[in-house]
Amino acid sequence: MKFSSSISLLLAVSSAVPSAVAYTPSSWGIQSRRSPLVMKSDSGGKSFSLTNLFGGEGGGQSSSTLRGSKNLEPHPSVLPHISPLNRLGPDPQSEITSEPLPVHPKVRSGTLPNGLPYIILPNKNPPGRFEAHLQVFSGSADELEPQQGIAHLTEHVAYMGSRKRELLFGTGSQTNAYTDFHHTVFYAVCPVQTPRGGAPMLPMALDALVDVMEARVETSRLEKERAAVLSEMTMVNTIEYRVECQILSTLHRENRLAKRFPIGKEKLIRSWQTDDVKSWHRTHYRPDNVLLYLVGDVDPDEAEKVIADKFGRISAEKQGSEIKLNEIKEQAKDLAKAVVSGTVKAAQSWHYPPVRHDWCVEANADVDPKLLIPAETPDYDIHLQKSYPLDEDVFFLQTEEVAPGKKIRPHIYRHELLQAFSMHLFSKRPVEPIVDLDSFRRSLARRVALAALQIRLNVGGRSDDPAFTFVEFNQLDSAREGCAVCSLDMTAEPHKWKEAIHKSLAEIRKLGVFGVTMGEMERYASSLMTDAEQLAAQGDRIQHGDQLAYLMETVANGHTFMSSEQSYHMTARALSSLTLEDVNEAARELCSHVMSFKEGEPAAEGPVIAVACLPKGYKEGDAEYCDEEALVEAIYEACQIEVEPEKDVVVPFTLVPEDDLAVAMEKNPPEWLGGQFTDGTPNTSPDSITRPFTLRRLGNGIRMGVAYNPHESQRGHLRIVAPGGRDAEKRLGFKKGSMAIGARTMQEGGAFGPWTREQVELFCVDHLLMVEINCSEESITIDFTFPTTNVGNVGFGDEVQLGITGTESVMQIVREIIVGFKWEQDALGRAKSSFRATHESLLKNLENLSTERIMEAMTSEDERFLSIDVPSVDAITLDEAKNAVMSQMSPSNLEISISGDFDVPEVLEMAYKYIGTIPADANKEFLKEEVKEGVGAKIGSVPQLPKPGKFIELELPDSDPRAVAYVAGSAPNAWGYLADGTTVAEKIMDKDKRASDYDKQRRKHPLFAYVALSLLSEIANRRLFSNVRERKQLTYDANFSFTGFERLLGGWFLVTVTASKENAQKALDACKETLHNLRKSQPITPDNVESAKRVVLNRHEFQLRTTQYWTEKMSGLQEESIPLKGPLSFTDFQAVVEAITPKDLQLALETMGLEDDELFTCIGRTVQTATPDDENE
């Protein structure tokens, strides 16, 4: 479910490749999470025998003896249980009722003689790399009462204490670990061979994971990690985290999850000694309770041998013999017995937490009897329904019966840091296994129904005066919770909370009662087919990380793990026989918990859970006031509203008819011109196609860059950049905030030509387009993701009617944005509402408010770099927003970059027709002369920092103690320009008078400063980690970053560190000390540089496999406002990185404002508010 991100605790380390950028769902396209083709599954069934558990199945027999296992007693917590391999195991549990789904032909699984299971999936992308993940099937939900938080602390100790993990440093590897309710995971992402020497790295990576299984628990390491965890406890305790805790506590009140959050209890964390940690470790880190995943460029036969050699010697008996605390050993044994006798973990999947659920299903629904687990057990309170001394003091209203048999479990959470009203309505259902064609078809029917409902909700939320500001309805299988969660998540302005509930629940009831229209079914079934086709086209080009995430989720929920090609074929078969009745049956089932509250409808089995979160301060009688009784009443009222069937909307086949395009071709004949560059690259001809990209200009002035990238099959990314942004807003004399609000208004709108916003939105849905429009300090950017194949198709197989390609549909929208966009008052209203909420939430967020205050001080309150306050937002009119944005939409100001899996000549031809026919003087009526520069910051650059620097302290009312500290100062922009117009290269040349001709030449390369600053950022982060976290034990994480402007001259660096209120000043001083030492007493070493190079090059190589990265890198190549950015910055990247020396970086460091009197520092602390009222915390 969607609350997993901040509850699951991730251990911060130095050198992780960032995950792929996730787009904010487009307000013009589908708003739903991208999910694998198979959504639902199961792995229930009978237990296997001890012979299976320890006898082993599959390959990889180890010749190693089980170390220390002779004459030892059995491990006290080892009991017979179902195999964690689920469908990939020797005894698959799920019942097959129709044609079974095929298993991925390359996947291999087995179990070592000691009971340790493994899964190997050979995968070729990226070549020469692999990922190994060790999943321990114990998390915070497995903790005893005096162990709350020990799973997470043990993860830290085992991971950070591994000396063999340290051997992976400098090899281009990334390692990390995380803890959640149901598991603890350690992983290593490595090259197949060491960079120097070519030694195989699989044995080294597995050595590091074996080291985790055999962890030494040393006092020094325990103290370091105790300090890190206590700091992390402060860091994660944001208002968003607290809201998630309230939601999960209510949702899972009948089981252990409500009382076992991974972060744990501070009192206990401070008290544990090495025996406590070692006892947890030896209880749970045992062969039968883990699963090793290996995905990547590996030979499965060889991998099995290495796995057997490394892991085969570990024995559960040896682990059990090292549990020193007998009382804990006995309590853990009792818990283990209770787990295998009455939980979904034992009944359905060993990946699940040891819990039961109050299922909310249709009356007389067929629920597997083994999942109907009693609420109370006579011998052991495994579901924690009794009160315990460490329980949180939280007020919950008991489940209410609003009508005979119709139950709601409500909870209200109020807090002074909350800004909006939100409601979260849940129904918990058993996970259905996706193992055969029938179950697969049902899962696709659910996806069609969910997509239809989400688009309806989006359209309803975009009226002139929308009831809600965000709404999402979904059902997802959650291995971390051991159930499928059907959820409605909705936010609204506090005074509209009842209206928001009424409208959202009425829309859900409408779907349940009347189902989808035929047009909706064709639209979303076609989208599923296109999605499956794109995945199949990727074949062995799917990234290791994506394959592994899909594999882990599929295995955990008991799905059949299929290849993308197999999924495609099964999708085609399932959709060919999918009927409207199938989809509407799925819709009825999805919405049954809401439908059941209608008078006269049968009651659902089990409770619906409702959680509302809202700001403090409202009193009974206020429109904004809501308590549990009012919430229940509003939900019940909403379900009585009469609903009518949905009407189909006519969706255009094309946005730009051929006749209109022919007229444009005749009136404004297009022309190609050559590309022009400022980095020293020779200009290109107008008719040549070059690699790695083709760069040209159109006769109307628009710069075009096109690159073929096959790594994301049948996918593309297009970016429009209009240089200017909030800097142009000030330069041209527009009202404060008009450029940013105008860009958001464009995002919220979408009507153009003869088409309404709803028609354009559904056109985007049909063609799987996502659009995101943003305004930064220096530009407006419009990003599109799209399929490159024919989409908007109707029918399947031989009966299919092809739509236009996603690439052509994007070109049409680009054209209309520039010349035909309709500015609508209601879109402005939604944009302004969003900016008001953003600014008001900033004032209640410790990190954001602290950053705002330090930025005010550094920029002398330059509005280009600050949040837009509410009075400024309110003052913007539609014409002002329109005029600001359209002043930047002159063709000569635009650059369009497009990358994807397509034919470059075809894309150039589309650009020629759709973009080249835009008149050169389009939008000339919006052009505006620059205003005369007034007193203050120079336009086009960041302000010169005032001297001396400044120390800022601020306090924010909050019920919980938190603190954050910052160190900031001047820095170059991404390309090495300082605010005064000088460059890093010039500064270095001036200091290094004795530089060789070779060094002078290197430093003149346009990419030199860009690379140097990237490496400096990596080195600074590693130093901060070593000093502030490891040596001084003052924080969980300290982070160094640059602002990275490309067009504005100059920028800033920012160090962020979280700490306890007591340690905030010490942490800030330690960060300043680290930066000082980097310049003076502990300068940059060759090892520092080599390690940073591996990180930067690996990240670059990884990102080159994404179309978005290509468009980001191409943007600006032909812009005069970024003179050093050109083709050389792309083609020479690796060579420039490899040539950088420690001296280069040491000298580059001196271009930053690091002297004490140049630094701006800030500490933000919360101040405890009065005692919470009796309804809240």
Q: pLDDT tens-digit profile of 152-201?
A: 999 999 999 999 999 998 898 999 999 999 999 999 999 999 988 899 99
Answer whether residue 54 shows pLDDT above 50.
Answer: no
3-state secondary structure 832-896: HHHHHHHHHHHCCCHHHHHHHHHHHHHHCCCHHHCCCCHHHHHHCCHHHHHHHHHCCCCHHHCEE
Task: Number of helices (H) and strands (E) in the chain: give both, helices first.
Answer: 40, 25
Closest among 697, 675, 721 to 895, alpha carbons compared:
721
- pLDDT of 480 reads 96
Question: Hey, which residues does 129 pair with through a beta bridge?
Answer: 191
Q: What is the pTM of this model?
A: 0.90
Half-sphere exposure of 266 (CA within 13 A, CB side): 10
Answer whether residue 138 shows pLDDT above 80.
Answer: yes
pLDDT level of residue 794 (50, 70, 90 thresholds): low
State pLDDT tens for residues 1037-1047. 899 999 999 99
- pLDDT of 7 reads 52
Answer whether residue 1 shows pLDDT above 60.
Answer: no
Closest among 313, 371, 384 to 114, alpha carbons compared:
313
> Which residue out of 131, 143, 214, 225 is catalytically annotated?
225
Asked if 155 is an active-site residue, the reply is: yes
- pLDDT of 799 reads 61
Answer whether residue 938 shows pLDDT above 90.
Answer: no
- pLDDT of 59 reads 35
User: Is 428 in contact with 483 (CB distance < 8 Å)?
Assistant: yes
Answer whether residue 935 shows pLDDT above 70.
Answer: no
Average pLDDT over residues 133-158: 97
| Cβ neighbours of residue 1081 closer than 8 Å, sequence gap 6 or more | none
Asked if 225 is an active-site residue, the reply is: yes
State pLDDT tens for residues 1014-1023. 999 999 999 9
Average pLDDT over residues 107-133: 96
Angle between helices 219-236 and 150-160 (to 10 degrees): 120
Percent of the chain at pLDDT > 70 equals 91
3-state secondary structure 1071-1114: HHHHHHHHHCCCCCCHHHHHHHHHHHHHHHHHHCCCHHHHHHHH
- pLDDT of 541 reads 87
Answer whether residue 1062 shows pLDDT above 50.
Answer: yes
- pLDDT of 800 reads 59
State pLDDT tens for residues 543-557. 999 999 999 999 999
Closest among 800, 804, 801 to 789, alpha carbons compared:
804
DSSP E strand stretches across 81-155: 108-111, 117-122, 129-136
- pLDDT of 32 reads 30
942 alpha carbon, distance to own chain's centre:
31
Answer whether residue 625 shows pLDDT above 70.
Answer: yes
pLDDT level of residue 294 (50, 70, 90 thresholds): very high
- pLDDT of 55 reads 28
- pLDDT of 322 reads 95
Cα–Cα distance for residue pair 564/219, rounded to 1 Å: 48
- pLDDT of 194 reads 93
State pLDDT tens for residues 497-515. 999 999 999 999 999 999 9
State pLDDT tens for residues 1069-1080. 999 999 999 999
Q: 506 or 460: whose pLDDT is higher?
A: 506
- pLDDT of 134 reads 98
SS3 747: helix
Average pLDDT over residues 300-324: 96
Answer whether residue 34 shows pLDDT above 60.
Answer: no
Cα–Cα distance for residue pair 177/1123, rounded to 1 Å: 42
Cα–Cα distance for residue pair 1094/224, rounded to 1 Å: 27
Answer whether residue 1097 shows pLDDT above 50.
Answer: yes
Average pLDDT, whole number, for the chain? 90
Cα–Cα distance for residue pair 852/703, rounded to 1 Å: 35
User: Is 850 in contact with 954 (CB distance < 8 Å)?
Assistant: yes
Closest among 891, 888, 894 to 739, alpha carbons compared:
888
**How many CB atoms are located within 10 Å of the residue 41 CB?**
29
SS3 772: strand
Cα–Cα distance for residue pair 1003/984, rounded to 1 Å: 9
> Which residue out of 131, 143, 155, 317 is catalytically annotated?
155
- pLDDT of 1144 reads 97
Cα–Cα distance for residue pair 97/82, rounded to 1 Å: 21
